[in-house]
Amino acid sequence: MKLRPLLLAALFALLTSGTAAAADTAGIVKRLHGTVTLQRGGQPLPLAPGTAVQVGDRLVTGPDGAVGLTMADDTLLTAGPGSTLVISEFRFNSTTNEGNLLATLLKGTLNVVTGLIAKQTPQAVNVQTRNAVMGVRGTDFIVDARGDAP
Amino acid sequence: MKAALCLALLAGLLAGCAPLTERVILLPGAAGSSTGALSVKAARGEILLAEAYAQADVIGGEPVRLTSSAQAVQAAYGGLLAMRPPAPQRFVVNFELGGDKLTPDSEPVLDRLRAALAAIPGADLVVIGHTDRVGSVEANDRLSQQRAQTVRERLVAAGAAPERISVAGRGEREPAVATDDEVPEPRNRRVEIKLR
């Protein structure tokens, strides 16, 4: 009785999705400059090109730092110096291109080049700062979060 | 002086002397894609940016519409934009009828892919196999997966990190060229590779 759904699930996974190892990977670090730290569950983790980034991860760049990520749906997220970026939400189905992305820029600068999720469902891609929410209708943009004033 | 300036500004501007907290600039789309649009919503309003270099400054919770320029963006954010990861690159290789043997024309494509792969630190790859409509749907699901695995092995041999390659087979469901069932179509016997 239990075997059948399992088998179907395995077959479905085989046919439609990527490797199991990639399941938690929201994006991958592609470019690094200067001081950049990755914080996961409050712990700092080493960072190099190729490092996988997960939902909940916080990237902090120093005064000389910058980091460029390619998300699983081809969205490019690039944070400039003095930035704190949190990958708050990310889901992506590579078969249907459905999913959602919420990036939180607590401070600093962020460039977003939207990918497959925004092409499929533009309103599913959002960037929030302390005082504003940017709702994508499909495209390339910069957000510069300067102050903490509410 | 500052207070006086503030009062003077207050007289003319409802926004007063609240600090600029966010600046948002819509950039032109990459070649071939549209500029799109972006809504900027804050406590005291929402505006839609829809033209290249349209800018919103959030001042005291209110988004204010302004216009930037290519020069201003380059001056303020050129360093940021220079750190963007490369756009994904796409490659297609083709297969002989009914199996996982690559066509001779596909070898130079793999050579180009190897060179591109070597130039990207931390590269990841998405490999998706397809078939034409000769044979059953089930057999084509297996064959498409087998073709994708063949390409995966070639990529690993070329130095790609195995854990950074995702592989899928779509069978005959996503043809490059629509055909009737049981029609051999070389363009549909393919593996698509995305390099990021």
pLDDT in tens, A1-25: 444 544 444 444 444 444 434 458 9
pLDDT on residue A14: 43
A39-67 pLDDT, tens digit each: 999 899 989 999 999 999 999 999 999 99
A70 touching chain B per CB within 8 A: yes
Token look-up 């749907």 returns B137
Do residue A113 and residue B80 have CB atoms under 8 angstroms apart?
no
B51-56 long-range contacts (CB < 8 A, ≥24 apart) are B51/B26, B52/B26, B52/B27, B52/B28, B53/B25, B53/B26, B53/B27, B53/B28, B54/B25, B54/B26, B55/B23, B55/B24, B55/B25, B55/B26, B56/B22, B56/B23, B56/B24
Give B36: exposed, middle or buried? Use CB within 10 Å, 0-12, 13-18, 19+: buried
Residues of B within 8 A of A120 (CB-CB) are none
Give the model confidence (pLDDT) of B161-194 as tens digits: 999 999 999 999 999 999 999 999 999 999 999 9
pTM score = 0.83
Stretch B123-152: mean pLDDT, rounded? Answer: 96
Cα dist from A110 to A130, B83, B99, whole Å: 14, 11, 46
What's the pLDDT band for A137 if we cut at 50, 70, 90?
confident
Strands A99-113, A52-53: pairing kind: unpaired
Q: How far apart are CA B102 and CA A30, in angstroms?
A: 30
- Mean pLDDT of the region B15-33: 81
As a whole number of angstroms, the distance between CA A134 and CA A108 comes to 15
Which ranges in chain B are annotated with CATH 3.30.1330.60? 89-195
CB atoms within 10 A of CB B154: 20
Q: B20, B124, B153: which to substitute to probe chain A, counting the most A Cβ within 10 Å?
A: B124
User: What is the spatial distance between Cα B14 and Cα B10, in angstroms, rounded to a whole number?
Assistant: 6
Chain A residue numbers touching B165 (CB-CB < 8 A): 19
The pLDDT assigned to A12 comes to 46
Residue of B nearest to A135 (CA): B39
Please give the structure tokens belonging to residue B95: 């297969």
CB contact under 8 Å between A70 and B21, yes or no, is: no
Q: What is the pLDDT of residue A24?
A: 83
Within 13 Å and on the Cβ side, how many CA atoms surround A67? 30
Work out the pLDDT band at B14, boundaries 50, 70, 90: low
Pairing of strands A125-128, A84-92: unpaired
Q: Which of A95-109, A127-141, B31-45, B147-161 has the lowest mean pLDDT?
A: B31-45
Q: Looking at CA atoms only, how far is residue B44 from chain A in angstroms?
A: 10
- Residues B32-76 have pLDDT tens digits of 567 789 999 999 999 999 999 999 999 999 999 999 999 999 999
Whose CA is closest to A31, among A45, A15, A49, A47?
Answer: A49
For B26, the closest of A33, A74, A141 (CB atoms) is A141
Shortest Cα distance from B58 to chain A (angstroms)?
Answer: 8
* Residue type (1 letter), A8: L
The pLDDT of residue A83 is: 98
Domain locations along chain A: 21-145
Per-residue confidence (pLDDT) for residue A10, from 0 to 100? 47
List, for residues B70-103, the tens digit of each pLDDT value.
999 999 999 999 999 999 999 999 999 999 999 9
Region A99-107: mean pLDDT is 97
Q: What whole-number distance in Å separates Cα of residue A142 and Cα of residue B87? A: 17
**pLDDT number for residue A63:** 96
Fold topology of B89-195: 60s Ribosomal Protein L30; Chain: A; (3.30.1330)
Q: Does domain A21-145 have CATH number 2.60.120?
A: yes
* Å between B108 CA and nearest CA of chain A: 25
pLDDT for position A17: 41
What is the rounded distance in angstroms from the CA atom of residue B76 to the CA atom of residue B37?
Answer: 21
Cα A105 from Cα A99, distance rounded (Å): 20
